[in-house]
Amino acid sequence: MTEFPHGTPVCRTEDVRRIEALALAQPQPPQLMERAGLAAAELARDLAGGSGKPIVVFAGPGNNGGDAFVLARHLKSWWFDVSVHFTGDAQTLSHDAAAAFGAWRDAGGRITTDIPPLQRCGLVVDGLFGIGLQRELTGRYAGLVSAINEAHAPILALDVPSGIESDSGRVLGCAVRATHTITFIALKPGLLTLDGPDHTGALHLASLDLDAGALVPPSGSAIGSGVLRRSLGRRPLNSHKGSFGSVAVIGGAAGMVGAALLAGRAALKLGGGRIYVGLLDERALPVDPVQPELMVRSAESALELDTVTVLAVGPGLGVSAQSTALVAKALASSVPVVLDADALNLLATQESLIAALSRRQAATLLTPHPAEAARLLGVSTADVQRDRVEAALRLAAIHHAGVVLKGAGSVCAWPDGKWAINTSGNPGMSSAGMGDVLTGICAALLAQGAAPEAALAAGVYLHGAAADAAVAAGRGPAGLIASEIIDPAREILNREVARNS
């Protein structure tokens, strides 16, 4: 996924419409369609290069089609061989789109009624549908999407690949699989999460010379590497292990001890001062032979330690009366708690635990995958995936907690209505134990003094960035395992925090 500076605004459709309306209400309103078409044309020129092959532009019936006409006009003026396949009715175009259509015709541009042979072109431009699409693509438009996807050329999508729902990343029947997407004014959540990243290709942002965040303060943003520098400062020379907190990982029932150890190892190597691993399995070894620095003991005794400053509860916890009692005790504590895996499953079924969570004064972070989020919300996994941002926001509001809804484009949300989408990570993370490592990372950041919001966002970004580094080193994506991303995460954190000096 393309990374953007940390904090780059991400706007849902309603916010983009508000930004456009405010910009156009200015005494000298900007020509947004002209700006968008020019920005897209400049990118298209770079993508087409000097091959001399024709460029085919698909222009739809709305303003996305108007952007496509402006793009085509500029490319023609630069002596590219350009044709436009227009799917709309010139009589029903908006004022700006009709002007773009007329300018294209006045420039001698040609409009085709049949789909040109895309196998021989140098670039295909998808300007069929933008952020306003809400219906599934069928019939004629499904055929056009199929033809575009089968082109033997780069595909540039304007604003959003046609068929991708801008707010959620859902595929509406079918969708263009672009090699590049240029989006306008602000990033859109549907480009960053769910199916969006698989259809967007390399993502480019054209602000159109608007300060989107100043016009409409965004509730959403992108999580980038800058979050690491904002989460922790450099360590003082005059410090000791107690300066960096103590984490207790609670989990590791019979057959699942490895989950708790993974979380503990991650917390240790990401900077926690002391790490306890409290296991439910009484037959487990009293030491981690791979990481002997971990202090292994029973789950009950780990919860009773008065030196613990952060609790990480859930990795390998299991669902039992004993594990329920442990979660209840953790929620009754006065220290920050990270809840994952079976701790979330217990929370979804035990009213007493929900009540205990609502009484907490210290910070709580929840790290569900979509199925766990569905159980917590009492809906289906498909319902959660239908609008990942909204699902994460609902969980944060209901439980008064920071939430990360894991998956492609993990969504972080907070009770105040703010949300952010992570831009790191890759398919290699689809393997067992990855969530346990994330839990340990977030707990370690909390233990070292990161604010809860920063610990969650930084932990999620760091988790994905470490997986990206592992893949770049040849250790994935196929066969990447959770324990392999702990060391890259440590390296990235130390490198980024060092830049604070």
CATH class, domain 226-498, is alpha beta
Radius of gyration, CA atoms only, the chain = 25
The length of the chain is 501
pLDDT in tens, the chain (501 residues): 788 899 999 999 999 999 999 999 998 899 999 999 999 999 999 999 877 899 999 999 999 999 999 999 999 999 999 999 999 999 999 999 999 999 999 999 989 888 878 888 999 999 999 998 999 999 999 999 999 999 989 999 999 999 999 999 999 999 999 999 999 999 999 999 999 999 999 999 999 999 998 999 989 999 999 999 889 988 999 999 999 999 999 999 999 999 999 999 999 999 999 999 999 998 998 999 999 999 999 999 999 999 999 999 999 999 999 999 999 999 999 999 999 999 999 999 999 999 999 999 999 999 999 999 999 999 999 999 999 999 999 999 999 999 999 999 999 999 999 999 999 999 999 999 999 999 999 999 999 999 999 999 999 999 999 999 999 999 999 999 999 999 999 999 999 988 875
Q: Which residues of 339-370 are buried (b: 16+ CB within 10 A; e: fewer)?
A: bbbbbbbbbbeeeebeebbeebeebbbbbbbb
Q: CA-CA distance, 495 to 484, in Å (whole number)?
A: 18
* CATH code for residues 9-218: 3.40.50.10260
| pTM recorded for the entire structure | 0.95
Helix axes 486-498 and 257-269, enclosed angle (nearest 10):
20
Domains in the chain: boundaries: 9-218, 226-498
